[in-house]
Every structure is written in structure tokens, then in C-alpha cells.
């Protein structure tokens, strides 16, 4: 007597998949296409002003001598912000993850403390750092005054971007630590024991065992760090405002140009031009992410 096994119906699965595609299209693809279309117009967001098709003029304006000062400043700040925040975030997260992976007393508490800034969010992070570096009696100001120094902190163009990078690292560090912890815990302890028996030092185990085994975690962290940093907007806005030339990244330039405000030497309100800047940012994020992924995959293969 043959026995039949029921197979799950494909209808509910297809329905769920279809709903997911519809949601992705509505909230992802449609807005992206809309921004692309708007970038070829002179839309200014006012109902009594006509909307004209201007082709690639907005993109030419972005690289034109009249606006290149603001554009180059935003591009430079974006790249500097993304590079240093990602590098230091990965290095700190790896070191903390290695420490928290050891059998320490209360390590679950320390893990929660490290992850807490991620849960707090951008607004609370901005408030914490604003109070910490408040020029009117903040803790950092008090400590600096003990040594006879003073600083405007976020108002100082020489260090404002560096302080925003520190705040960004503090806010997102927990996610990177969790990813590294999951990678460390997936490494069999027998491999470390075998390497120790073979006479490998701690550094050799770290270099030739831990790092190669963590290659997927490193790739994930680097990509997340780059994408998040290149798209960073809220934290810089909360800490320094949209019109601080020394910290203005591409996302903030989109806001200033699209909704009005002073950007360096330019005063404008043009959603069309802002959309073209956002498309430049999209291309930058995609290009950097693909290059980083290609490089990291090659490194994984070599390791």
C-alpha cells in the first residue's frame, strides 16, 4: 500500500511573495523612479510655478563652477565621514567583540551596555552629545577648562566633523559588535586548541585563524558601515544643523537645496536640483559598495 505525503499549497506562498513585491515597489522602486524623473525638471515645490523639463541641466549645475564649491565640500565631507567612521567602527567593534566573547563575569551586562546606544536612536544620541559638548558648562567644556583650554566643539569647523564621526561610531557600534560576536561564536573552539598545540601564538591564531573565519562578518560590517555613513543625515542635522559648511554632507545638501536654506554661498529651493544631488549620492553609494564588495570577496577567497 503506497503512502502519500501532502505537500503544502503554493497559493499562500505565492500570495505572500506577491504582497512583498508590491510593498517593495510602492515604497522602494516607485519613489526611486519618481526622484529620477524629478531630477530632470526644475520643480520648485510651489503650486503657482510651472514645472519644466530641463534634461541633465541639474546634473551639469552640480558640477558647474558656480556651485562646485558647495558640491565639492559636500562630496569631500561625505567621503571623509564614511571612511573614518567605517574604519574606526570596524576596528573598535572587533576589539570589543573579542573581549566580550571571553568568559568574563557580567559579560551579558557589558553586551547590553554596548548595544544600548543603537536602541536609543538618533535623537537621543544627538541630545547626549549636545549636552556632553555644550559650550555653556558641558562636561567636555569643564574638563578642557581645567587645562586652560576652550573650544566651540560643534561650532568649530576644525573639529566639528570629527565629533560627528565619534557620535556616529558610538551610535552604530553595537550592531557591528553583535555581528562580530556571532562570527566569533561560530568558530569551533577545537581549532584554537589545535593551533595552540601546534605552537601558534595568540597573534598567529588571530591573524591566520580568527580573521579568515571572520571574513563574512567583516564584509557585512564594512558594507553596512559604508552604506549607513554615505547616507547619514539625521545625526549631522541634529548636532550641527543643515547649514554648517564644515559638516554638510550630500544628504544635508539635498535638504538645503530642496527645502530652502543657505548652503555655503547658495540660497535656493529647488526640488529638481535636490533630486539630482540625491541621484549623485545614489550612484556614489552604489559604486563604493560594489567596489568594497568586490575587494572584500577577493580577500575572502585569498584567506
Whole-number Å distance between alpha carbons of 13 and 52: 45
The beta-strand segments (E) located in 98-145 are none
Facing residues of 267 across strands? 262
Contacts by residues 93-100 (CB-CB < 8 Å, ≥ 24 positions apart): 93/173, 93/176, 93/177, 93/179, 93/180, 93/221, 94/180, 94/214, 94/218, 96/173, 96/177, 97/176, 97/177, 97/180, 97/181, 97/184, 98/180, 98/184, 98/210, 100/177, 100/181
Whether the per-residue pLDDT at 77 is higher than 50: the answer is yes
Per-residue pLDDT reduced to its tens digit, 20-41: 777 767 777 788 888 899 999 9
Task: Give the pLDDT mean for 199-224.
Answer: 88
Task: Give the pLDDT mean for 191-208.
Answer: 85
Mean pLDDT of the chain: 85
Whole-number Å distance between alpha carbons of 235 and 126: 6
3-class DSSP string for 262-280: EECCEEECCHHHHHHHHHH
Could you tell me the pTM of the whole model? 0.84
Facing residues of 53 across strands? 41
pLDDT band at residue 303 using 50, 70 and 90 as cut-offs? low
Which backbone phi and psi does 151 adopt, to 5 degrees? Answer: -155, 150
Per-residue pLDDT reduced to its tens digit, 222-249: 999 998 888 888 889 889 888 888 999 9
What pLDDT, on the 0 to 100 scale, is given for residue 266? 43
Helix (H) or strand (E) holding 261: strand 261-263
Per-residue pLDDT reduced to its tens digit, 133-160: 888 877 887 888 787 777 778 888 889 9
What pLDDT, on the 0 to 100 scale, is given for residue 256? 87
Task: Give the pLDDT mean for 187-204.
Answer: 85
| DSSP character string of 21-43 | HHHHIIIIIHHHHHHHHHTTB--
- Say what the alpha-carbon torsion angle 88, 93, 98, 103 is, to the nearest 10 degrees: 140
Facing residues of 266 across strands? 263
Nearest to 273 by CA among 59, 18, 112, 129: 59
- Which domains, and CATH codes, for the chain? 41-302 (1.10.3720.10)
Whole-number Å distance between alpha carbons of 128 and 136: 15
Amino acid at each position: 500500500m503506497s503512502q502519500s505525503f501532502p505537500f503544502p499549497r503554493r497559493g499562500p506562498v505565492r500570495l505572500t511573495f506577491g504582497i512583498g513585491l508590491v510593498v517593495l515597489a510602492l515604497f522602494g522602486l516607485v519613489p526611486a523612479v519618481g526622484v529620477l524623473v524629478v531630477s530632470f525638471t526644475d520643480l520648485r515645490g510651489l503650486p503657482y510655478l510651472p514645472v519644466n523639463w530641463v534634461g541633465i541641466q541639474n546634473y551639469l549645475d552640480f558640477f558647474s563652477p558656480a556651485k562646485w564649491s558647495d558640491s565639492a565640500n559636500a562630496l569631500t565631507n561625505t567621503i571623509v565621514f564614511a571612511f573614518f567612521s567605517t574604519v574606526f567602527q570596524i576596528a573598535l567593534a572587533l576589539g570589543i567583540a573579542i573581549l566580550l566573547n571571553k568568559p568574563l563575569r557580567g559579560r551579558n551586562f557589558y553586551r547590553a551596555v554596548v548595544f544600548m546606544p543603537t536602541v536609543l536612536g538618533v535623537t537621543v544620541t544627538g541630545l547626549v552629545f549636545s549636552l556632553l559638548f555644550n559650550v555653556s558648562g558641558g562636561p567636555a567644556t569643564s574638563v578642557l577648562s581645567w587645562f586652560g583650554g576652550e573650544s566651540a566643539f560643534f561650532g568649530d569647523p576644525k573639529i566639528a566633523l570629527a565629533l560627528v564621526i565619534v557620535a556616529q561610531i558610538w551610535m552604530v557600534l553595537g550592531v557591528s559588535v553583535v555581528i562580530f560576536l556571532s562570527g566569533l561564536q561560530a568558530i569551533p573552539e577545537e581549532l584554537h586548541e589545535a593551533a595552540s598545540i601546534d605552537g601558534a601564538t595568540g597573534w598567529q591564531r588571530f591573524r591566520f585563524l580568527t580573521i579568515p573565519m571572520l571574513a563574512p562578518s567583516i564584509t557585512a560590517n564594512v558594507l553596512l558601515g559604508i552604506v549607513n555613513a554615505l547616507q547619514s543625515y539625521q545625526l549631522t542635522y541634529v548636532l550641527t544643523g543643515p547649514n554648517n559648511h564644515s559638516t554638510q554632507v550630500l544628504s544635508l545638501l539635498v535638504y538645503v537645496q530642496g527645502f530652502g536654506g543657505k548652503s555655503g554661498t547658495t540660497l535656493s529651493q529647488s526640488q529638481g536640483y535636490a533630486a539630482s544631488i540625491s541621484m549623485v549620492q545614489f550612484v556614489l553609494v552604489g559604486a563604493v559598495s560594489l567596489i568594497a564588495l568586490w575587494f572584500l570577496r577577493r580577500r575572502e577567497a585569498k584567506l
